[in-house]
Amino acid sequence: MPKPDIHPTWYPEAKVICNGEVVMTVGSTQPEIHVDVWSGNHPFFTGTQKIIDTEGRVDRFLRKYGMLDSSAGKSDSKKEK
């Protein structure tokens, strides 16, 4: 028997919300859980790949190793000088 007044409130039907819609229900200590990514929209489970480019890191990598299409990228006039 648990001691009184030391355990958090348990919600057996807590709603997991992603992008404004309920995606599943689970047991939790919070009545609603807001998430950005879940198995229904994660690239590993959906089979799609989405590159999140933060501060141009992907472009910088592609330019560094010569994988960037010359028509899509900026000209490297600084390297030529």
Query: What pLDDT sits at residue 39?
Result: 83
Whether this prediction's pTM lies above 0.75 is answered by no
Give the pLDDT band of residue 80 (cuts 50, 70, 90).
Answer: low
Task: Specify the DSSP element, H or E, that contains 62.
Answer: helix 57-64
pLDDT digits (tens, 9 = 90+) for 46-70: 777 766 666 677 778 888 888 777 6
What 3-state DSSP class applies to 57?
helix
* pLDDT for residue 81: 47
Rounded CA gap, 50 and 13, in Å?
32
pLDDT digits (tens, 9 = 90+) for 15-45: 999 989 999 999 999 999 999 888 888 777 7
